[in-house]
Structure 1
């Protein structure tokens, strides 16, 4: 169990670090007005940008939550940020290529996997409507940026050394000030999120260590049991989205619909993401992030299984 937990942490930590770095770069270097200028005004356009942004900014689910939190703190609409968080770990070139390779060039598997991720991601985006970033986030720690304070700190009439806007006390004057601010934010975000990654890895390793192989065989009997069983396994194992297609392909006795459901739900909801959802987002949003993808993928997976997949 210890070995499995360590393996999960070592596999996920680089992506969490990368996500924390991307979030820090957004926090320090990207002005809010520049970011918002790239976002369409229409609700449909915003959801579409969020769903497909991973094609340009691919991020594993191990590091997506810090990036999305920073985007929301930059006042990016939840209608963009939440679909991006759910879809980007799958709707990106790296995962599409790995899925295609694992299933020997079967484009139908890739298409179904994308479909089972895009639908709940877009549904949550539309459901959020015109919600404010503040309404989906929990109260932030003191080392994170509050939008109003950051704007006040960067008004041009101030002639003193400015902070980075997060309340951490770092000045942004001097030749290496921005670099220091990026490193500080990266470290703070990584440590803040890392403890939940470790907790999720321990729980996932426990499932992996103590789940008897005979249990899997029990679920093969019916489409509902097969889809639900592999979904539960995906949530428990918490495998990175770049590698889960190879694990799914190894379940030879399960129907393809169950394998696709396995690959769809894991990157959206797993034991390392659930603690992060509950920590970063309000309870209602966190529950929706867990329930909507799970129910949607299960229903679609069962329908595919009944259709012969």
Structure 2
């Protein structure tokens, strides 16, 4: 927190002293968007790293072996449905998934939880209902498409995933003899938060660059075609990196696009965006993040189209 506050203050001092081009409206807009994305996601990253540290320090491994089915293929949908218990955005799910893997949970189940938690928790579904009043079909479509995507991706990892793609951050998990559990919690929380926070800032900078550089007229070009609008809003969700608690209101404001395209925006965004790709790269490795993000994007679009065609 001190490092983040210090960086913001240093940026303000530089802008104040430099005068010139750093005070241009585009640069100020970039800074505003970058700070907005970071501040919006930071509380949930804090929640996720705290939960990750608590799981690592206080929860015995036998708990997970009792809760999840023995067969990995059955553990995947159970873990996906368990995403409803974490009221946070995608930033919180990455450290939690990493901690679950460290506690012996099969990676396929952990990744299903990683994808579903930001999209099917009660806060997100309530926000979707408020953003689309009188349209419960949109809430149901988002729930089902998100759960389907998380489950399919978990099963795909079981079938095609390779251990060499997955390089979790090296950290002792669980309670070590000679150390108090609170000490383990503090060390795990500090490591995860500082490690993931840096990649969160990088993702926010990339999202801010897109927001400032792309003119609004580009949005109007793709709104005429149903299929182009679905692909465009899916890509836009990745680039904008809006927190899952707020993306429904952004989708509702895109009135020029079809309901199917707006559903794709809300399903893809919490599972694949710039800051999430950066967090996954820092936590699990670049090889994993590239493959997993690309596959998740395709599966999320297909699930959105199939379920949206039925319900919307």
Judge same fold: TM > 0.5, yes or no: yes
Given that residues 78 and 133 in structure 1 are in contact (C-alpha distance below 8 angstroms), is that contact kept between their aligned partners in structure 2?
no
Matched, 1:287 2:290: yes
Structure-2 change in CA distance of 1:55 and 1:91 (3 Å): same
Match of 2:172 in 1: 145
Match of 1:108 in 2: 137
1:2 to 28, 31, 47: 31
CA-to-partner distance for each residue in 1:234-282, whole Å, 9 max, x for gaps?
A: 1111111111101100011100001000000000000001122223225
Structure-2 change in CA distance of 1:183 and 1:216 (3 Å): same
Post-superposition offset of 1:292: 2.0
1:226 to 206, 225, 229: 229
Given that residues 144 and 307 in structure 2 are in contact (C-alpha distance below 8 angstroms), is that contact kept between their aligned partners in structure 1?
no
Structure-2 change in CA distance of 1:136 and 1:35 (3 Å): farther
SS at match of 2:120: coil
Matched, 1:215 2:218: yes
After TM superposition, the structure 1 = structure 2 runs for residues 188-207 of structure 1, keeping only pairs within 5 Å, are: 188-207=191-210
Match of 1:261 in 2: 264
**Structure 2 length-normalised TM:** 0.83
Structure 1 gap ranges (5+): 155-161, 163-170, 173-177
More helix by share: 2
SS at match of 1:54: helix
Match of 1:275 in 2: 278
CA-to-partner distance for each residue in 1:166-223, whole Å, 9 max, x for gaps?
A: xxxxx32xxxxx3233222212110000000000000001111111010000011211
SS at match of 1:40: coil
Match of 1:175 in 2: none
Given that residues 249 and 259 in structure 1 are in contact (C-alpha distance below 8 angstroms), is that contact kept between their aligned partners in structure 2?
yes
Q: Extract structure 1 runs of 4+ deviating beyond 6 A.
A: 130-134, 304-308
After TM superposition, the structure 1 = structure 2 runs for residues 1-309 of structure 1, keeping only pairs within 5 Å, are: 1-129=30-158, 137-138=166-167, 140-141=169-170, 144-145=171-172, 153-154=176-177, 162=178, 171-172=179-180, 178-302=181-305, 309=312
**Structure 1 length-normalised TM:** 0.84
SS at match of 2:118: coil
CA-to-partner distance for each residue in 1:132-184, whole Å, 9 max, x for gaps?
A: 9966631533xx1167xx6xx54xxxxxxx1xxxxxxxx32xxxxx3233222
Aligned length: 283
Post-superposition offset of 1:4: 0.7
- Cα RMSD (Å) of the superposition? 2.4
Structure 2 gap ranges (5+): 1-29
